[in-house]
Structure 1
Amino acid sequence: MGRDRSSNAVREDEDLGDLLQELRVLLPGVQTLTAFLIILPFNGGFSQIARSEQWVYVATFVCSLSSLILFTAPAAQHRLERPLRDRVHFKHEATRLIIIGLVPLSVALILATHLVVSEVVGSRPALFVAALVTVAIGTTWWMIPLVHRATRKPPTRDSNDRLHIS
């Protein structure tokens, strides 16, 4: 019985470590995007872009900032709740926040693509390139993982209680 608790605790620690590593990958990109968006309106040429593009900028900034807030929430919560009494619950909540944060990040990347391409080569090519980015993000971030999740077989255990994932 003690061995089961120990192996479950190790698994939960590994899962939490994986989650933290995923955040380490996501955060620098979101921070960089948000930082660039923060300084953009202070650039001399910003006031010259079309009013509609300024609204695209606002939506992009709000989405980027929202994803940054959602991605950093687990760290803030972890620090304020220390010591964690229920690591499993914390891991599930952190996972939920990260997945929710991917939604505004997806939108921010699509809108940022539109904003940049529109400024460089015009609105029509911007719509096309933004559509390509939408398909790329939709496929790689959302469809593929959800299809894998829906079609994978549940893990099994051997006679030594080792987990096997097929």
Structure 2
Amino acid sequence: MDKPVIEHNGLHEEMRNIIEEARVILPGVQALFGFQTIAVFNDRFAELPSYATLCHLVGLGMVIIAVALVMTPAVYYRVVGPANVSRRMIARSSWLIRCALAPLACGLALDMFTVIFVTTRGLPASVAGALLTLLILSALWFAFPWYERRRCHSRQGDAERAL
């Protein structure tokens, strides 16, 4: 078999894996969007102060951005075409999914603010809950993988220097 054909098949498989990852993420984000949308029809939502409803609307917008970013790799793959899969397409698609995590984390944190405010009517508790949510998600989705990546690269460098 020709090397370019093998590489193309490997790239095609990698792109399909990225699309499958997006397919796994998407239902959860869509369910979150549905719950966010339903909240405005609740009687208690109308009683919220304007800053709390604004937090909810901005959170809703953040989730829409996350949905768009998660769905883009599949559309990109279909429009550009499987025959044109490339390392650049894979890198961009992977980047889009990683980028979706930032607005998703912000949207979840803003929703946490709204939920805590509705249940406690306490602004300090609501802010603390939102910040804690953002901190936890940022640590797990950004800091931890970045740390592990640096650690793995450092270990590889040490192994190469030992040779």
TM range (shorter): 0.7 to 0.9
TM-score (norm: length of structure 2): 0.82
Instruction: Name the SS of the counterpart of 1:153 in structure 2.
Output: helix
| Alignment CA distance shift 1:13-1:86 (3 Å) | closer
Unaligned runs of 5+ in 1: 157-166
Unaligned runs of 5+ in 2: 157-163
Q: Which residue of 2 aligns with 1:18?
A: 17
Q: Which residue of 2 aligns with 1:153?
A: 153
The equivalences for 1:1-166 within 5 A come to 2=2, 4-5=3-4, 7-121=6-120, 122-153=122-153
C-alpha separation in 1, matches of 2:76 and 2:16 = 16
User: Given residue 44 of structure 1, which amino acid in structure 2 is its aligned partner?
Assistant: D
Q: After superposition, give the CA deviation of every residue in 1:16-56 in whole Å (9 maximum; x if it has no partner).
A: 24322321221111101111222222333321111110110
Which structure has greater helix proportion?
Answer: 2
Aligned length: 155
> RMSD of the TM alignment (CA)?
2.4
Instruction: Name the SS of the counterpart of 2:43 in structure 1.
Output: coil
Kindly state the Cα deviation for residue 103 of structure 1 after the two structures are TM-superposed: 1.0
Matched-pair contact (CA < 8 Å) for 2:62–2:107: yes
Q: After superposition, give the CA deviation of every residue in 1:43-98 in whole Å (9 maximum; x if it has no partner).
A: 33321111110110111011011100111111222222224413322211111111
- Percentage of matched positions with identical amino acids: 23
Kindly state the Cα deviation for residue 6 of structure 1 after the two structures are TM-superposed: 5.3
| Alignment CA distance shift 1:84-1:9 (3 Å) | closer
